[in-house]
Amino acid sequence: MKPHGPIPPGFVADDDNMLLIGGDRAETLVDAAGDTPLFVYDSAMLAARVAEWRAAMPAEVQLHYAMKANPYAPLLAFMARLVDGFDVASGGELRAALASGMAATDISFAGPGKRDREIEAAIAAGATLNLESAGEAARALSIAARIGAVPRLAVRVNPDFDLKGSGMKMGGGAKPFGVDAADVPALVRRLIASGADWQGFHIFAGSQALDAGAIAETQARTVALAARLANEIGAAPPLVNLGGGMGVPYFPGDAAVDAAAVGRALGETLAQRDAVLAHSRFAMELGRWLVAEAGVYLTRVVDRKISHGETFLVTDGGLHHQLAASGNFGTVIRRNYPIAIANAFGTEPAETVTVVGCLCTPLDRLGDQVALPRGDVGDLVAIFQAGAYGASASPATFLGQGPAREMLV
Ligand SMILES: *Cc1c(COP(=O)(O)O)cnc(C)c1O
Mind spelling out the 3-state secondary structure of 234-286?
Answer: CCCCCEEECCCCECCCCCCCCCCCCHHHHHHHHHHHHHCCCHHHCCCEEEEEE
Q: Please work out whether the CB of residue 106 comes within 6 Å of at least one atom of ligand 1.
A: no
Give the pLDDT score at 171.
65
Residue 131: partners with Cβ closer than 8 Å, 6 or more residues away: 137, 140, 153, 154, 155, 156, 179, 187
pLDDT over threshold 80, residue 38? yes
Q: Please work out whether the CB of residue 122 comes within 6 Å of at least one atom of ligand 1.
A: no
- With cut-offs at 50, 70 and 90, classify the pLDDT of residue 292: very high
Residue 406: partners with Cβ closer than 8 Å, 6 or more residues away: 38, 39, 40, 41, 72, 391
Which of 87, 175, 203, 241 to mutate for ligand 1's pocket (most ligand atoms within 8 Å of CB)?
87
Cα–Cα distance, 320 to 357 (Å, whole number): 9
CATH code reported for the domain at 12-41+293-408: 2.40.37.10
Q: Please work out whether the CB of residue 286 comes within 6 Å of at least one atom of ligand 1.
A: yes
**CB 237 within 8 Å of CB 186:** no
- With cut-offs at 50, 70 and 90, classify the pLDDT of residue 331: confident
pLDDT over threshold 70, residue 170? no
Give the pLDDT score at 391.
96
pLDDT over threshold 70, residue 149? yes
Give the pLDDT score at 173.
85
Q: What is the pLDDT of residues 267-290, one digit of tens each?
A: 999 999 999 999 999 999 999 999
pLDDT over threshold 90, residue 169? no
Beta strand pairing call for 405-408 and 351-356: unpaired
Buried b (16+ CB within 10 A) or exposed e, 241-267: bbbbbbbbbbbeebebbbbeebbbbbb
CATH code reported for the domain at 71-286: 3.20.20.10
Same fold, 12-41+293-408 and 71-286: no
Mean pLDDT throughout 370-380? 98
Mean pLDDT of the chain: 96
pLDDT over threshold 90, residue 93? yes
pTM value is 0.96
- The full set of domain ranges for the chain reads 12-41+293-408, 71-286
Crossing angle of helices 73-80 and 91-99, rounded to 10°: 60
Ligand 1 center from residue 256 Cα (angstroms): 18
The CA-CA-CA angle for residues 261, 263, 266, to 5°, reads 110
Ligand 1 center from residue 158 Cα (angstroms): 14
Ligand 1 atom having least distance to the Cα of 167: 7
* Cα dihedral 236, 233, 202, 199 sign: positive
Q: Please work out whether the CB of residue 387 comes within 6 Å of at least one atom of ligand 1.
A: no
pLDDT over threshold 90, residue 61? yes
Cross-strand partners of 206? 169
Q: What is the pLDDT of residues 211-248, one digit of tens each?
A: 999 999 999 999 999 999 999 999 999 999 999 999 99
Ligand 1 center from residue 325 Cα (angstroms): 18
